[in-house]
Structure 1
């Protein structure tokens, strides 16, 4: 007869903790955005959301590495313009809503029955003329949030001529406006601004997002709007490399840059304050803050339990050189090594995340946002 070996209390605690972590933020079919009955999603933003607009912009966008493998290799097996090895959060959100992937606005002859993706990788919250006055140059695109919103006007005007439904309240439409602003900070850093100097941009960036939300409500009839915050980029290989120092006090307990993440937290705090103001201004509109900061840190802090390699949390999967597998002069491309299993990495190319990380973040965000959207069946 086999002998019985009692399980130690510590092991039981570990097993229970792992099980609870597995249950946490894993949307079931019953807890899906399908219950909201969204027929369309309109989204604006940057590389976190772009499904192919930048690579259709000439001459710069079409020449970027995002138009070629290894981008897209994990899921699509070819490059789609997504800044990852596969799908983005917006793809998982669309899927959870029972909708197909959103076509990029600049894709010729695309079908927009279920919404439009206006986001452009590299896009800024501030328009080009404002950045110029601040001596900040966007080297990738001029398609700022304001430009994307102008595209929306053109799209709706065109659609209304065909269907005559432009004046209808968008009761079954989800608008996602935000997650933008990170590039404004990044370009300022690259052009020699210090973190305290960059922090002075926060009020203008938050105001730009707030203005964008107001526009989709007033001009486009939005009744449900999700406003994403900014990711804690102090944990990303690009900033860890750029600001690398021997001063241990510059890093937090995660090994992330304190000042950069403090800037992000300050931005997100001010953005949430702006959202509260908008809620008072438009009490009949559901406006939900999407906490990308908390979602990312949840993944980062529980990386090993979620299937990521704990030793590679701050390293790029596609990259080469240095402590973080990232080099400004040798960015992710077909000539740069790619890790054997991107699903074990959080960072794809040092700037953007892997499909695996985006999938986990999307699950966390859907669980967090669903009750707040007030659209239960």
Structure 2
């Protein structure tokens, strides 16, 4: 419930209508249309929890707030009793995430060390685990829980933590330490998912492997039509080796946009281009569809 743009690409790739934002007063919330509770820049952990650690997210609409909205929405569509809601939701697909990257990003850019951020992982994963339990309690019977992307491959990190130490980079020129953090988060998340499966044997819970989906794109960048020399450079941005400057973000007057976005993986240093998101979505759908045991 973090990156709403990814949900739109997943919907498009799956051939279903785009989910309207819950707070959109003109949204379509009828049968067959999903509902999007995600908020850009949101965190898994509540803002007040993070602020006590001197980490200051730009929004208070954390995962728990989004789940409160979901509960309010279900109260508006389930009219008789709890069984009514379970019946309506049993064939729905819930996506809880991808979320957690922002928690770590805000921590790093608020001066936290790698060890301090790594110590946040259990709390972040617990927040996601609690969120999955809540949606199961609402009546969800199919839940997709995405892992985190390899953040060390993104221009925001490559520019913010650029170093002359060649050992800090992997074969894709991604920062290994930050990717290791993503892998550490994902390992904890997969363990939490296995625990949830044991606790809820009648619920299908699938892990969406964003990390390897992104690595697949990097490995096959040239064959997929991306410019091999620009795989880690922002299409919309300015400055340095990665086209990213926190003081000259995409959308700022005078910041250029590349003429061929489809040749780039990164749109603005933080989010991907539509083409890259589409490939992520197709990879994920192909990977998880057999696991969802959807009715024919």
TM-score exceeds 0.5? yes
Task: Report what 1:91 is aligned to.
Answer: 8
The CA RMSD over aligned residues, in Å, is: 1.6
Q: Shift of residue 98 of structure 1?
A: 3.9
Alignment of 1:263-342 (within 5 A): 263-333=181-251, 335-342=254-261
Alignment of 1:2-41 (within 5 A): none
- Structure 1, unaligned runs of 5 or more: 1-44, 51-87
1:254 paired with 2:172, answer yes
| Cα 1:332–1:169 shift into 2, 3 Å | same
- Please, which of 116, 125, 143 is the counterpart of residue 44 of structure 2? 125
CA contact (8 A) 1:91 1:102 kept: yes
Q: Shift of residue 110 of structure 1?
A: 1.2
Once residues 376 and 155 of structure 1 are traced to their aligned partners in structure 2, the CA distance between those partners, rounded to angstroms, is: 25
Q: Shift of residue 171 of structure 1?
A: 2.0
SS in structure 1 of the partner of residue 85 of structure 2: coil
Task: Report what 2:278 is aligned to.
Answer: 359
Once residues 315 and 232 of structure 1 are traced to their aligned partners in structure 2, the CA distance between those partners, rounded to angstroms, is: 15
Q: Shift of residue 374 of structure 1?
A: 1.1
The structure whose Rg is larger is: 1
Task: Report what 1:210 is aligned to.
Answer: 129
1:231 paired with 2:155, answer no
CA contact (8 A) 1:228 1:291 kept: yes
- Please, which of 50, 53, 56 is the counterpart of residue 134 of structure 1? 53
- Structure 2, unaligned runs of 5 or more: none
Q: Shift of residue 176 of structure 1?
A: 0.3
CA contact (8 A) 1:317 1:348 kept: yes
| CA offsets 1:200-223 (integer angstroms, 9 cap, x no match) | 0000000000000000001x1000
CA contact (8 A) 2:13 2:282 kept: no
CA contact (8 A) 2:14 2:285 kept: no
CA contact (8 A) 1:169 1:223 kept: no
Once residues 147 and 162 of structure 1 are traced to their aligned partners in structure 2, the CA distance between those partners, rounded to angstroms, is: 25
Once residues 89 and 154 of structure 1 are traced to their aligned partners in structure 2, the CA distance between those partners, rounded to angstroms, is: 24
Compute the TM-score of the two structures, normalised by the length of structure 2: 0.95
SS in structure 1 of the partner of residue 144 of structure 2: strand
Pick 1 or 2: higher relative contact order, CA cutoff 8 A, min separation 6.
1
Compute the TM-score of the two structures, normalised by the length of structure 1: 0.75
Task: Report what 1:15 is aligned to.
Answer: none
Once residues 81 and 199 of structure 2 are traced to their aligned partners in structure 1, the CA distance between those partners, rounded to angstroms, is: 31
Once residues 134 and 194 of structure 2 are traced to their aligned partners in structure 1, the CA distance between those partners, rounded to angstroms, is: 16
Task: Report what 1:242 is aligned to.
Answer: 160
Task: Report what 1:111 is aligned to.
Answer: 28
Once residues 143 and 185 of structure 2 are traced to their aligned partners in structure 1, the CA distance between those partners, rounded to angstroms, is: 19
| CA offsets 1:28-68 (integer angstroms, 9 cap, x no match) | xxxxxxxxxxxxxxxxx21x2x2xxxxxxxxxxxxxxxxxx
Q: Shift of residue 149 of structure 1?
A: 0.2
| CA offsets 1:259-304 (integer angstroms, 9 cap, x no match) | 0000000000110000000000000000000000000000011100
CA contact (8 A) 1:123 1:183 kept: yes
CA contact (8 A) 1:169 1:222 kept: no
